[in-house]
Amino acid sequence: MVRLPGRPATRPPRSFGHPRAPHSPSQPEQGTNGSRPGVLRSAVTGRSVAGQVFVLQVVIVLLLVVSAVVAQVLQVRHDSDVEAANRSLAVAETFAHAPGTVAALRSPDPTAVLQPRAEAARKATGVDFIVVMDTDGIRYTHPNTDRIGKKFVGDITPALEGRTVTEHITGTIGPLVQVVVPVKDSDGKVVGLVSAGITTAHVGGTAEQQLPLLLAAAAVALVLATGGTALVSRRLLRQTHGLGPYEMTRMYEHHDAVLHAVREGVLIVGGDGRLLLANDEAHRLLNLPADAERRHVLELGLDEETAGLLSSGRVATDEVHLVKDRLLAINQRPTDLRGGPPGSVTTLRDSTELRALSGRAEVARERLNMLYDAGVGIGTSLDVTRTAEELAELAVPRFSDFATVDLFDAVLGGEEPRPGTALRRAACAGVREDAPLYPVGERIRWVATSPQARSLTTGQSIVVPRLRAEPGWRAQNPERTDRVLEYGIHSLITVPLRAGSLVLGVANFWRSEKPQPFDAEEVALAEELVARAAVSIDNARRYTREHSMAVTLQRSLLPRTLPEQGALEIAYRYLPAQSGVGGDWFDVLPLSGARVALVVGDVVGHGLHAAATMGRLRTAVHNFSSLDLPPDELLGLLDELVGRIDQDETPANGAAVVTGATCLYAIYDPVSRRCTLARAGHPPPALAQPDGTVHFPDVPAGPPLGLGGLPFETAELELAEGSRLVLYTDGLVEDRERDIDEGLDLLCDALRRTPGASPEDTCRTVLDRLPARPSDDVALIVARTRQLGPDRVAQWEVPSDPAAVSEVRASVTRQLSDWDLDELAFTTELILSELVTNAIRYGRGPIGVRLLRDRTLICEVSDRSTTSPHLRYAASTDEGGRGLFLVAQLAERWGTRYTPHGKVIWAEQPLP
């Protein structure tokens, strides 16, 4: 393993994914194949790590070979010296201890005896010389005879002392090793010396012969080592991608920085289960000890499940493990899938923090959703109370556990708030229904120290994190506030309901289930919710005020009670629309001769203008009905009136204010049981016969009022006694969910189900099929017909003779006596005398007299003249002109109505 400069051996550089470094001159030009010239160039140049390793290893091998050769040579020389010393010592000792050596030394001519022996021994042992000398160092023997008798070269002093001497000297025959051995007699006395020696050149000849072989072997070893180094360099070059040391160091530094800076733990575990590498994030997430690396993962103090996963090396994908107080998502892959080293790489991701971040994002998303829901869910109706309820219902339980809305009483009534007055609880919502808060409808006067009062005064939101520590709030009602605290409500946000400069009330958000108190971010959310609700509440308040004014106007224009009459049994209903005030109206108008007029109308549109127009039309119908006009003539006059209203009230831009009106007018005569009807764009009436059959009479459909130019036609019906005539507006039979044909079928079905029912029951049955708050106004009249029988009607033909007046009086007196109305005989005679006399004098025959006994006594005189009498106030000197004056004084009402054949003058008297 090559250690990079400045890097510890315990932390080898790791290559994850083999990233390619930028191209550099040291990178191979033809890939990473070691057989290509690029490898050799890289190896020769030495710029890449592989090249430097190649050169370094070649140098090392060369040095090793040279060192081996030198060592071998030195070893041979050393061995030669040792061999020379040993051989010389052996020869010298052998010769010194040989029998006869001592005797020869003591002989007269030692040379003669010893020289042959010495030469023979030298030749036999292969030493270079054997020299025998006396104790003075004079040679007795020598290979060169000319040296005999000369002094020995060397140190003989130790030998004279009885010790053996070994010396390395350069003698006459070259460098040599010589040994001097003492020759002792039997007494141990040194009597001579023997020296044997051999030159190192002679001993080292074998080593010199082996040197070529040694050099050849060194050369082969060098070639083999160079080839192996090339192969290693080739693989190293492939692994390092031709990077140089600086680039490798920089790459390692970058990888090391990324590895330890990334916010994801990385672990590398070897095949034996030991931890090889752990970055800083892994140390933090797993709380590893400082010496964790090189230790087995089962010894790191991890929980059993996590340690088992790390030691198993199995594949894992986003497995969540609880490690200490963290939830870690673990991914693990083995490293030997593609021929890599055994082990596994594990990444750790702290899902606890991610969940916290996602939780905050979820909270923000929920708040945005809540604001969106507030935009579409608050203010769906123009009702102040309902809008307050929508705010409370939206806040619970998504924002608070309980929510209450307190509004000034004036706001609930549609008026502007009056500060300083009490508030009323308009809405309350909560996760439970038994909270001891003020109930809905309770009048509350907050004390000045309470958060609600301070919020109303300052117009600012107030948050109370801990209600138990808020004495101002507890001073409101100590008994109730103690119950609130015992219930578990612990935190409050109170926000003023502000619409412009008006403070309409306060919204209170209470928390009990969640232990955390409200914070500043939640105050901002509460203010946003309340701000949206305040606008809707103010709009509802304004609408309530306008609606109340319109309803008040409408109610003042509609009939409060039905007039007394005996021709019809009548029941009615009026249902206002769900929103807005419409222009539907109805009326029951008693006419002369016991007749009754029924009218139903509808002004197109809603609002104050429609209500005011309806009032004008109803007043006009009252005035026109007093003229006893037929239905078609009355509708014609109404048509002209609506046209004038359109003309008079058209604004400058030319847009019409009144877009039209419809009307149905019917007159019923109980004497003849005839009903005359005309309609102007109005739905036809329904007629329920006593036998249960129901149909819609064929009444000509005239144009709506205001179009002008088209005539109206009448229809005349003869109704059996007990028939039910049903008049209504289009809101009864038509709405957004069904067309008019379906509505008419439903009306017929309801009338068929109630044959012979009273008008009240009929109204109830018909309206049960409608929603509680219809989308349009509904006006309904059910009239059951009655008949004024022959026993209550008397009539006579009167000739055009003044003398016939007395006969009329007599007949009337007898009829009144039969009806037990003798008290009215005198006044009736006076009224009829005057009316008949005027008819004889100013009218044309034939003349008829009719008495009707209904709720009043009705006297009628008819003739063929269309001249209408008029009331005069005669002077005291006038002889006439007092007849109609007397009639007006004696009768309760009187008048004139025109018929197709003349006129009828009538007078009514109350029954006694």
pLDDT band of residue 657 (cuts 50, 70, 90) is low
pLDDT band of residue 199 (cuts 50, 70, 90) is confident
Cα(243)–Cα(220) distance, rounded to whole angstroms? Answer: 31
pLDDT of amino acid 101: 84
- Tell me the mean pLDDT in the region 419-431: 90
| Higher-confidence position of 10 and 534 | 534
Tokens (6 digits) for 631: 């239905």
pLDDT of amino acid 829: 86
Residue % of the chain over a pLDDT of 90:
24
- Tell me the mean pLDDT in the region 252-270: 77
pLDDT of amino acid 242: 64
pLDDT tens digit sequence for 135-189: 888 888 988 888 888 888 788 888 888 888 888 877 666 778 888 889 888 888 8
| Residues 836 and 849: beta-carbon distance below 8 Å | yes
| Higher-confidence position of 213 and 309 | 309
pLDDT over 60 at 26, yes or no = no
Query: Which residues contact residue 770 at a Cβ distance below 8 angstroms, ignoring those fewer than 6 apart?
Result: 575, 732, 778
Torsion sign across C-alpha atoms 123, 127, 128, 133? negative
Candidate from 174-178, 194-198, 516-520 with smallest mean pLDDT:
174-178
pLDDT band of residue 28 (cuts 50, 70, 90) is very low
pLDDT over 80 at 884, yes or no = no
Cα(625)–Cα(52) distance, rounded to whole angstroms? Answer: 125
| Residues 729 and 576: beta-carbon distance below 8 Å | no
| Residues 663 and 672: beta-carbon distance below 8 Å | no
Tokens (6 digits) for 110: 């030692």
pLDDT band of residue 675 (cuts 50, 70, 90) is very high
pLDDT of amino acid 786: 93
Candidate from 233-237, 392-396, 718-722 with smallest mean pLDDT:
233-237
pLDDT of amino acid 20: 40
Q: Kindly provide the b/e burial profile for residues 136-159, where b requires at least 16 CB atoms within 10 angstroms of the residue's own CB.
A: ebebbbbbeeebbeeebbbebeeb
* Helix H or strand E segment including 41: helix 37-45
pLDDT over 50 at 9, yes or no = no
- Tell me the mean pLDDT in the region 80-85: 78
pLDDT band of residue 733 (cuts 50, 70, 90) is confident
Cα(888)–Cα(882) distance, rounded to whole angstroms? Answer: 10
pLDDT over 60 at 810, yes or no = yes
CA–centroid distance for 69 within its chain: 84
pLDDT of amino acid 876: 46
Counted residue by residue, the chain has a size of: 912
* Helix H or strand E segment including 318: strand 316-323
DSSP string, 118-153: HHHHHHHHT-SEEEEE-TT-BBS--SSGGGTTSBPS
pLDDT over 80 at 574, yes or no = yes
pLDDT over 50 at 877, yes or no = no
SS3 per-residue string spanning 525-561: HHHHHHHHHHHHHHHHHHHHHHHHHHHHHHHHHCCCC
SS3 of residue 198 by DSSP: strand
SS3 of residue 365 by DSSP: helix
Candidate from 358-362, 581-585, 700-704 with smallest mean pLDDT:
358-362
pLDDT of amino acid 429: 93
Residue % of the chain over a pLDDT of 70:
85
* Helix H or strand E segment including 610: helix 608-625
- Tell me the mean pLDDT in the region 744-756: 87
Query: Which residues contact residue 397 at a Cβ distance below 8 angstroms, ignoring those fewer than 6 apart?
Result: 431, 513
Cα(547)–Cα(545) distance, rounded to whole angstroms? Answer: 5
pLDDT of amino acid 23: 41
Cα(606)–Cα(642) distance, rounded to whole angstroms? Answer: 16
pLDDT over 70 at 480, yes or no = yes
User: Among 411, 393, 418, which Cα is nearest to 403's?
Assistant: 393
Query: Which residues contact residue 120 at a Cβ distance below 8 angstroms, ignoring those fewer than 6 apart?
Result: none
| Higher-confidence position of 152 and 761 | 761
Residue 327: other Cβ atoms inside 10 A: 15
Candidate from 51-60, 582-591, 723-732 with smallest mean pLDDT:
51-60
- Tell me the mean pLDDT in the region 100-109: 84
Q: What is the mean pLDDT of the chain?
A: 81
pLDDT over 70 at 210, yes or no = no
pLDDT of amino acid 742: 85
Candidate from 78-82, 715-719, 728-732, 840-844 with smallest mean pLDDT:
78-82
SS3 per-residue string spanning 85-126: HHHHHHHHHHHHCCCCHHHHHHCCCHHHHHHHHHHHHHHHHC
Cα(813)–Cα(118) distance, rounded to whole angstroms? Answer: 213
Cα(755)–Cα(747) distance, rounded to whole angstroms? Answer: 13
pLDDT of amino acid 579: 62
- Tell me the mean pLDDT in the region 389-406: 92
Provide the 8-state DSSP code for 280: H
pLDDT band of residue 15 (cuts 50, 70, 90) is very low
User: Among 781, 756, 785, 788, which Cα is nearest to 766's?
Assistant: 781
Q: What's the number of CA atoms in the CB half-sphere (13 Å) around residue 743?
A: 19
pLDDT tens digit sequence for 605-628: 777 777 788 888 888 999 998 888
| Residues 553 and 612: beta-carbon distance below 8 Å | yes
pTM of the predicted model as reported, rounded to 2 decimal places: 0.55
Phi, psi at 269, each rounded to 5°: -115, 130
pLDDT of amino acid 339: 67
User: Among 462, 469, 485, 491, which Cα is nearest to 399's?
Assistant: 491
* Helix H or strand E segment including 398: none
Cα(336)–Cα(344) distance, rounded to whole angstroms? Answer: 8
pLDDT of amino acid 545: 84
- Tell me the mean pLDDT in the region 25-33: 40
| Residues 567 and 596: beta-carbon distance below 8 Å | yes
- Tell me the mean pLDDT in the region 863-880: 61
Provide the 8-state DSSP code for 291: T
Phi, psi at 705, each rounded to 5°: -65, 140
